[in-house]
């Protein structure tokens, strides 16, 4: 049974208008394959002829059995899509519908083919040979690994010579700067932790000062505060208080 890939609607919005039910279609084919499909043309106006064509990329690959059908209400237009054995795996183009004797032309994208190559299935004989090869390789794995383990033992097992000298040198080198680097990092981290707390306290005090200043100033010198500014001040005030309380709880 032929599959309907697209529904073309004409004369619905206005005279000679062309609409597509799908924005694009995909025709999955491998090189050497062929598929027949249908395009349904639905006419909402008076009976008319339409013309079907393809772009340059799809010429010779998509063929319409009737490229100039006469559409009364509904008409099924059959088409054949094929890819030659030496053809491209994936081709992109357009199918065009022309109505009103050439006055209106509109197309939709078409993807012919598949992105991935055709998978080659292993035959029963090949799978049996593969199983035999894997079984033959299984017993050989321990014998290959044994000399590697034996050769690696004397290298790791020697506790004297260059290994002992290098380990003592590394220990002395690592133990050369523990106290000074630790003090410096602690001072740096302490300063980094105090800076946000100082900023929070400063912002908190500044907000309290502005709050009292608003009520202390006389009417002529008072400044106006909008709703947005009041909301921002409230958020900043709550944030500062929350951060200060959390720091106090951590210190305790």
DSSP structural state of residue 108: E
- The reply to whether CATH 3.40.47.10 applies to domain 3-113 is no
Structure tokens at 215: 């009520």
Whether residue 191 has pLDDT greater than 50: yes
Whether residue 51 has pLDDT greater than 60: yes
- Determine contact, residues 37/79, Cβ cutoff 8 Å: yes
222 phi and psi angles, rounded to 5 deg: -70, 145
Give the residue from 19, 29, 28, 96 showing the smallest Cα distance to 57.
96
Burial level of 153, CB count in 10 A (0-12/13-18/19+)? Answer: exposed
> Measured between alpha carbons, how far is 140 from 142 in angstroms, rounded to an integer?
6
Per-residue pLDDT, averaged over 202-212, amounts to: 78
Domain ranges within the chain, ordered by starting residue: 3-113, 184-251
Q: At 168, is the pLDDT very low, low, confident or very high (cuts 50, 70, 90)?
A: very low
- Determine contact, residues 10/44, Cβ cutoff 8 Å: yes
> Measured between alpha carbons, how far is 59 from 91 in angstroms, rounded to an integer?
11
Whether residue 45 has pLDDT greater than 50: yes
pLDDT by residue (tens digit) across 140-150?
555 445 554 44
For the ranges 81-95, 146-160, 182-196, the lowest mean pLDDT is seen at 146-160
Give the residue from 67, 80, 96 showing the smallest Cα distance to 27.
80
> Measured between alpha carbons, how far is 225 from 217 in angstroms, rounded to an integer?
14
In this structure, are strands 74-82 and 34-43 parallel, antiparallel, or unpaired? Answer: antiparallel
Q: At 206, is the pLDDT very low, low, confident or very high (cuts 50, 70, 90)?
A: confident
Alpha helices in the chain (DSSP H): 124-137, 140-157, 162-174, 178-216, 227-251
């Amino acid at each position: 049974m032929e599959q309907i890939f697209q529904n073309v609607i004409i004369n619905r919005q206005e005279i000679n208008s062309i609409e597509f039910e799908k924005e694009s279609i995909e025709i999955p084919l491998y090189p050497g394959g062929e598929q027949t499909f249908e395009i349904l043309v639905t006419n909402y106006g008076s009976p008319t002829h339409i013309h079907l064509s393809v772009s340059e990329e799809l010429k010779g690959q998509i063929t319409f059995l009737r490229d100039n059908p006469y559409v009364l209400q509904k008409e099924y237009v059959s088409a054949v899509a094929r890819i030659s054995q030496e053809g491209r795996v994936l081709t992109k183009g357009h199918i065009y519908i022309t109505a009103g004797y050439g006055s209106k032309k509109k197309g939709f994208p078409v993807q012919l083919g598949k992105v991935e190559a055709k998978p080659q299935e292993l035959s029963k004989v090949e799978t049996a040979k593969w199983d035999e090869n894997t079984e033959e390789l299984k017993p050989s794995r321990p014998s290959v690994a044994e000399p590697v383990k034996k050769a690696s033992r004397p290298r790791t097992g020697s506790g004297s010579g260059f290994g002992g000298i290098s380990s003592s040198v590394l220990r002395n080198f690592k133990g050369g700067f523990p106290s000074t680097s630790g003090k410096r990092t602690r001072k740096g981290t302490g300063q980094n932790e105090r800076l946000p707390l100082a900023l929070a306290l400063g912002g908190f005090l500044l907000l309290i000062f502005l709050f009292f200043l608003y009520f202390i100033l006389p009417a002529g010198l008072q400044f106006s505060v909008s709703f947005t500014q009041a909301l921002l001040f409230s958020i900043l005030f709550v944030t500062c208080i929350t951060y200060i309380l959390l720091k106090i709880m951590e210190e305790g």
